[in-house]
Structure 1
Amino acid sequence: MNDHDGDGYFGERVAAMYDESSEEMFEPSVVAETVDFLVALADGGPALELGIGTGRVALPLALRGVPVHGIDMSRAMVARLGAKPGGDAIGVTIGDFATTRVPGTFSVAYLVFNTIMNLTTQAAQVACFRNAAAHLAPGGCFVIEVMVPELRKLPAGQNIVPFHVSPTRWAFDAYEVATQAMSSNYIQVADGRGEYRSIPFRYVWPAELDLMAQLAGLRLRERWDGWTRGPFTNESGQHVSVWEKPVD
């Protein structure tokens, strides 16, 4: 998932507009639901954010009294975090969150907003679970927020699902069912010029995540439709899942 500048697909150009391009995820009500959930799980202990980015969750979580450390590959994204009020007080380690270790143990580790899918191989996703488990204290929890693959939305004989259409911007997901590879693709027209950008992912099913957790020595504690703990059903388009490290 790296490119030439070491920041993967989240270099300076993306970092500069990330908060605005994902503004719906920065809505105070959305962030508050996430933070409330994580505060309860942390129960006064420290938290580790995998893919901390610009601090959308880490900053308000720290304001609630939870010590937060982050791991992220993108120096450009982390620089945006450090420039925000309170950002310089949050420790961040630059590295691949699937393998990078940091000192100490944590009450909760979390990976939000589909970021598990930025790891584009099954092996890397398994390694991420093992890395999270290695950082957890006994009884600690690993939390993932991720979409349910939208294969039911695929038109017959096609592999593309549009998710944004406007006069100047088009965006669609492309699925490769045989390999579980997918990509999010963006086309934008500005000042008479077109621009195309594509980001690769690997989609993953809830049951597959449970097996990854088992391989890492974790067990499923709960699964919800979202941060407000609605029931996870056949119609859910996402899930928030919590795996626990046994106390043995």
Structure 2
Amino acid sequence: MTDEDGTTDEDGHFGERVAARYDETSADMFAPGAVDPAVDLLAGLAGRGRALELGIGTGRIALPLARRGVPVHGIDMSRAMTARLHAKPGGDGVGSTIGDFATTRVPGSFTLVYLVFNTINNLTTQEAQVDCFRNAAAHLEPGGSFVIEVGVPELRLLPPGQNAVPFRIGPGGWAFDTYDTVTQAMSSHYVTLVDGVAEHRVFPFRYVWPSELDLMARLAGLRLTHRWEGWSREPFTHESRGHVSVWTKPAA
């Protein structure tokens, strides 16, 4: 079954229509300046072990990480996204499993589990985010690391009485986020103008605070070992708009 925005029930919000243009619309995130520092850090944490990516998508991080000699497997709900991963050079060497990365298990254990580019927010309930930490911990070897890259909720940008924050405005359309500060639900809205006709797409998320993530980690038996503003390990401060956090599973 396909809904009006071209996605499928099976693929959720990342069906064929989104997958076909994902690399193009996220081109900045595929640039070496965005990819290389992430791969450097992740390769160091993986060491000689295996890595599991939650929400592997089209392989933006998995493929260069595999080229560094790290065996990578991924879990993703979208067959359309992973099909593009496997069609790329080297994609046949990266394994993938279709499923909900909060609960889907794959064989074996890993020295590294990672989740990048705000993908934790694709889990739209606190329960699912807690399950994700438990799933990551279950896949980790003792001493292994779970890494998340995610933004800090920008609620300070909300004036009193307003629940929307624009983040892209241009002649071809605009985009904005809406927030519910009671439930922590948020949605990213993309309005695109094509031949004078407006198309509106919505992606639901749940924003999450760093301290909340730390509590989820503790519930899963993990402990925070590092938190930086970004992949280049800049200090995390009260002005940081995002963070890369590392939690470790205690050694046996």
TM-score category of the 2 structures, normalised to the smaller one? over 0.9
Shift of 1:4: 4.5
Q: Does 1:216 align with 2:220?
A: yes
How far apart, in 1, do the equivalents of 2:94 and 2:206 lie?
29
Secondary structure in structure 1 of the residue aligned to 2:142? strand
Structure 1 segments of 4 or more deviating over 2 A?
Answer: 2-5
How far apart, in 2, do the equivalents of 1:190 and 1:4 lie?
22
Shift of 1:89: 1.2
Secondary structure in structure 2 of the residue aligned to 1:85? coil
How far apart, in 1, do the equivalents of 2:181 and 2:203 lie?
17
1:119 match: 123
1:58 match: 62
Give the number of equivalent residue pairs: 247
Q: Which runs of 5+ in 2 are unaligned?
A: none
Classify 1:26/1:4 alpha carbon distance in 2 versus 1 (closer, same or farther; 3 Å): closer
Q: Percent identity?
A: 70
CA deviation map 1:73-115 (0-9, x unaligned): 0000000001100001111000000000000000000000000
Query: What pairs with 1:129-144 in structure 2 (closer than 5 Å)?
Result: 129-144=133-148
CA deviation map 1:39-60 (0-9, x unaligned): 1101111100000000000000
Query: What pairs with 1:12-51 in structure 2 (closer than 5 Å)?
Result: 12-51=16-55
Secondary structure in structure 1 of the residue aligned to 2:104? coil
1:87 match: 91
2:75 match: 71
How far apart, in 2, do the equivalents of 1:189 and 1:223 lie?
39
| Matched residue type, 2:193 | V
CA deviation map 1:193-219 (0-9, x unaligned): 110000000000000000000000000
Q: Which runs of 5+ in 1 are unaligned?
A: none
Shift of 1:163: 0.3
Q: Does 1:182 align with 2:186?
A: yes
Secondary structure in structure 2 of the residue aligned to 1:171? strand
Q: How large is the RMSD of aligned CA atoms in angstroms?
A: 1.0
2:154 to 150, 156, 179: 150
How far apart, in 1, do the equivalents of 2:181 and 2:9 lie?
30
1:225 match: 229
Output the TM-score relative to the length of structure 1: 0.98
How far apart, in 1, do the equivalents of 2:112 and 2:172 lie?
41
| Matched residue type, 2:231 | W
